Chain A
Amino acid sequence: MSIKKYITANEAVAHAARLARVEVVAAYPVTPQTTIVEKISGFIASGEMDAEFIKVESEHSALTACMGARMAGVRSFTSTSSQGLEYMHEMLAYASGGRYPLVLVDVTRSVALPWSIWGDHQDAIQQRDTGWIQIFTETGQEAMDMVLQAYRIAEDRRILLPVMVCLDGFIQSHTEELVDIPDQGTVDSYLPPYEPVVTLDVDNPYSISIGGFGRYYAAWRKEQQEAMDRARQVIVEAGDDFARIFGRHYGGLIEQYRCEGAEAIILTMGAFTGTAREVVDEMRADGKAVGLIKVRAYRPFPVRELRQALSRAKAAAVLDRDCSWGCEGALATDLKAALYSLPSPPTVLNFVGGLGGSDVPPEQMKYMLDKALSVERGAPSTMEFIGL
């Protein structure tokens, strides 16, 4: 029997790690992630979870220890935020290139300097090219459900890549909501025990995570990209199977909300989607042809899905809680590349906002969508900071 409780997304994620039968946890404190591993420590202390908790001296070591546990053949878990994720950067690339099926929760937070403990997506976006599958979630329930799915995706023999599940610092991490916590038996029926492909096995010894000159290196990298491409399908499958067992479905790579006949569509990632949903409802009630796309999978990027979803729209209003300095918001750039081959692609208006924990209230989203409705088809793209 599942139980329903008012808990934060961080607590929900801790339950997910417990239910995934994680055997090694390695983590280091950083706001706003810390309550996840506090909760896990509590589960271990109370006997609700049977796992080793390695209290490492840094995030670099946290991810390394998680890789080590995988090398020994057991499932691992870590979570972090912001500076911690930055500090892991070297090992993030190590893990994906070594094809380690790790799961990491990033409670997203802005990156110093200027120093801020509050939320935006800069930390996750800065790790975009480290080879991790990156999935953004909107609620505590979705964060928990996605961690369970992440193990399925990462460990799938077609994939064997690490997965980063992102949830928004404070908006999700420290806000209680009603979460349906499944029972162990049901989770076990969804997530089979971990069967590693290659470990440090004294009976079948391999040199692993080694190097290779040019053509070998290039071949491994190509395989990594092909696994990323396959992940689009596997993410959808994992979500569909999850829905069959647990009755909750999140739409796969993207969720489209009231996009039918929409001339202007707002694109969001993470918790701000909730606000966008209400704004779209209000504007639709006023007879305005607007819709919403929630981008769930950021890597692999849902190129085909976005192209289809936006093929008839006049303009896309992209909210980026990040910036690729000297360019624009990262989601906007990726979206433009995806839309490039459309015969008449929509104009992409990029709005960078919600940085450092600042809010993007409904009126700003309304402004974004009104602006998108007002552009001429084929007008040039723009980028602006909002809320300043």
Chain B
Amino acid sequence: MKLKEVSKEELYRCSYGCAGCASVLALRLTLKVLGENSVFVVPAGCISTVSAYYPQAPFFVPMTVMAFAATAAALSGISAGFKRRGREDIHVVGFAGDGGTADIGIQALSGAIDCGYKFIYICYDNEAYMNTGIQRSGLTPYGATTTTTPGRCFENRPKKDMLRIVADHGIPYAATACISYPLDFMRKVEKASKINGPTYIQVLVPCPTGWGFAPDRAIELGRMAVESGMWNLLEFENGEFHTTYTPRHKRPVAEYFEAQTRFRQLSPEQVEAIQREIDSRGAPGSS
């Protein structure tokens, strides 16, 4: 896939999303891959809030809002319904945030992967409950402040490894991605769309409002997350993990932390400890 081959059609426009919102961008790029033959389930979170208030309907394809915990169960129901109607060609897509995926929605996601219907579940991971005002979620990384982990009471637990969690369900395809690597992300969406079963993609979407950086730096921050090793671009298929992109130049995690406000309470020693932890990591899936 090359940039010039990417669809010029815009199927998501005029949301109420913040300027520089990478979640909105992830949705726009997802639709460029899947096109008009797709339907979306969007639970409580940023994307439903910015795109589902009557009469404004920024989705140019069918979508439904869904209860916070219920995304994946709706996907099973829709997919089963389309199967009955002989319309398994339609992409059934869930688009849920990190809290909607790793916290309140994890039970339904687990159940739906287990049921085995065909769907693409995309977690847009901005590492906290941004829509409600930046509260910590199960995907908030160690060391970050949020409005419920303020100051020296910063998040003291590691980010849940959702890729491993879904992989351990025996999911046919799962991947991590980052919005700063659009072709890698889009290739993964395309791959997922061709799998006849449940699939999961978790895309890191830096949030200017929640992370504390200027709106023009969302892509830069995502790049820094990958180059510092705070986020890895991986795939899980045929029972194995592999890396889809290895940064040419490694970047100290301190640089990534300094580029945003949510880590600034960390002492040099704490940053050093995080750096050591990153450096000691083994191959993907082994951590």
Contacts and interface: CB of A to CB of B under 8 A. Distances in A.
Do A and B interact directly, with beta carbons closer than 8 Å? yes
Given A211-B53, A211-B54, A24 B77 contact: yes
B133 interface: no
A71 B57 contact: no
Q: Is chain A's interface secondary structure helix, strand, loop, or mixed overall?
A: mixed
Contacts of B25: none
B107 A202 contact: no
Given A54-B76, A64-B73, A211 B81 contact: no
A59 B184 CA distance: 37
A354 B231 CA distance: 59
A213 interface: yes
Contact of B77 (A60, A69, A206, A209): A69
Contact of B73 (A51, A65, A205): A65
Given A54-B115, A72-B81, A73-B85, A207 B59 contact: yes
Contacts, number: 159
Interface string A187-215: 00000000000011110011111111100
A352 B111 CA distance: 39
B102 to A, nearest CB: 16
Contacts of A211: 48, 52-54, 65
Interface string B23-41: 0000000000000111101
A72 B52 contact: no
Interface residues of B, number: 46
A43 to B, nearest CB: 16
A34 B197 CA distance: 28
Interface string A29-52: 000000000000000000000011
A90 B84 CA distance: 27
Given A64-B77, A67-B74, A213-B53, A52 B67 contact: no
Contacts of A208: 62-65
B80 A68 contact: yes
Interface in B149-163: none
B83 interface: yes
The 10 closest A-B pairs by CB, nearest first: A68-B77, A72-B81, A57-B111, A61-B73, A65-B77, A64-B73, A212-B54, A200-B62, A200-B39, A210-B52
18 contacts: A26-B77, A54-B77, A54-B117, A64-B67, A64-B108, A70-B77, A72-B77, A72-B85, A72-B87, A73-B81, A76-B81, A207-B63, A208-B62, A208-B63, A209-B64, A210-B54, A210-B57, A211-B53
